[in-house]
Amino acid sequence: VLFVMTDADLDIRRPTLLLDEKRARRNIVSMARKADLARVRFRPHFKTHQSLDVGGWFRECGVDAITVSSVTMASAFANDGWTDITIAFPVNIKEIEVIDALAGRVDLGLLVDSESTVARLAASLQNPVRVWLKVDVGYGRAGVRWDRPEEIRSLSRMVARAKQLAFTGLLTHSGHSYHAQTREEILRIHTESIGRMAAAKAALDGALFEPCLVSIGDTPSCSVAEDFCGVDEIRPGNFVFYDLMQLASSACEAEHLAVVVACPVVGKYPDRRQIVIYGGAVHLAKDTACDARGRSIFGCLAERKRNAWSPRPDDAPVVALSQEHGVVELASDLLAAVHIGDIVHVLPAHSCLTCGLHTEYRLIDGGMVRRICC
């Protein structure tokens, strides 16, 4: 039988987020060790797990500095005793009062990429903050372009001269590494990114910009690369759980996968070799990964074997999602093994978004871990 239920599934009635604590802890230890060996500061992004308990697992590994993606998330972790927090999202000036209050009780890092934001921070903040200039090395989302030295210099100068703002360095997120299909492509993007950060940093010599740290952070690059030359800090987040997208690009192995969504089977359609599960876009999220044929899939069934999930993207992909329905295409042998009323494990395409749809994790070895809701 392929999709046997584990003990953790026995009383599952609805789509339920399952977490393998041992795998997640192993992922944390291994990334912390890599950062240590590369002599870079490890400032993991907590937006993936958003859990005080999982945060505690990082603490046990010696982590004392974190990244978050919202002011609300920063406040929640500050309330849990974290004192060194970077909000790796462009400053939202509508939240300036909360940001200022937070800066009064923790060592707070902010990201800027515009003069108007720097001017507002300089005029409004009573408490000191660390300020990173966000640099765009090719993702095309936010940041000053790496090849505009004049802009980098003038904005950095503006930061360095403002009383409450401590210029800290240059920060980037190479999110375009998520489009890579192979380890080689990921490495190419990583090497290009750190080269572009070095070029951006070259625009900033002089005492005004000392120290000028370089912070990077995307799970594909941090997982695959060994060389972090010129980098002072890494901020990966997704690596704590990984997912099908990371597996498809070879950024991780099946043994690193730490979360699945357990979903009841509610329909079976042998003529079209599909089943319908209670697990739709509101439980899995609509991000996709690429299967071996280049098809976009929303996830796939994963078999629990020898204490690890063995994903089946080729013969059990999730091919369609509506609000509560998920449609899974099954190879004939798998179709015969799955019945209405079974619980199947779905490996999500992108765990950060999937976890964001749930309020808690059920640990496969027993127990629950809550998420903060930001």
Q: Which residue from 50, 61, 1, 51 is spatially nearest to 25, judged by alpha carbons?
A: 61
Cβ proximity to ligand PLP: between 253 and 365 the closer is 253
Q: Which of 136, 218, 243, 303 binds ligand PLP (CB under 6 A)?
A: 218
**Region binding ligand PLP by CB under 6 A among candidate stretches 112-120, 187-195, 211-219, 321-329:** 211-219
Q: What is the DSSP string of 254-276?
A: GGG--EEEEEEEEEEEGGGTEEE
Binding of ligand PLP by 237 (CB under 6 A): yes
Minimum separation from the CB atom of position 45 to ligand PLP (A): 4
Residue type, 183: R
> Distance between CA 51 and CA 35 in Å, rounded?
22
Bin 165: left if φ > 0, else alpha if -120 < ψ < 50, else beta: beta
Would you tell me how many other CB atoms lie within 10 Å of the CB of residue 137?
Answer: 24
Q: Which of 75, 193, 219, 249 binds ligand PLP (CB under 6 A)?
A: 219
Residue type, 215: S
Cβ proximity to ligand PLP: between 312 and 350 the closer is 350
According to CB under 6 A, which residues from 125 to 164 bind ligand PLP?
Answer: none
**Region binding ligand PLP by CB under 6 A among candidate stretches 199-207, 212-220, 225-233, 281-289:** 212-220
**Region binding ligand PLP by CB under 6 A among candidate stretches 53-61, 183-191, 214-222, 292-300:** 214-222
Q: Helix, strand or coil for residue 157? A: helix
Q: Which residue from 361, 326, 119, 363 is spatially nearest to 372, judged by alpha carbons?
A: 361
According to CB under 6 A, which residues from 274 to 303 bind ligand PLP?
Answer: none
Cβ proximity to ligand PLP: between 222 and 265 the closer is 222
Token pair of 44, please? 């993991």
Residues that bind ligand PLP (rule: CB under 6 A) add up to a total of 12
Minimum separation from the CB atom of position 348 to ligand PLP (A): 13
Torsion, Cα 180 184 190 192, to 10 degrees, reads: -100
Binding of ligand PLP by 249 (CB under 6 A): no
Minimum separation from the CB atom of position 142 to ligand PLP (A): 8
Residue 251 sits at φ, ψ, to 5 deg, of -75, -20
Binding of ligand PLP by 88 (CB under 6 A): yes
Minimum separation from the CB atom of position 235 to ligand PLP (A): 4
Residue 219 has, within 13 A of its CA and on its CB side, a CA count of: 28
Distance, C-alpha 104 to centroid of its chain: 27
Binding of ligand PLP by 235 (CB under 6 A): yes
Residue 349 · residue 244 · CB < 8 Å: yes
Q: Which of 51, 238, 249, 351 binds ligand PLP (CB under 6 A)?
A: 238
Residue 105 · residue 148 · CB < 8 Å: no
**Region binding ligand PLP by CB under 6 A among candidate stretches 144-152, 192-200, 216-224, 257-265:** 216-224
Positions that interact with ligand PLP (CB under 6 A): 45, 67, 88, 173, 217-219, 235-238, 352
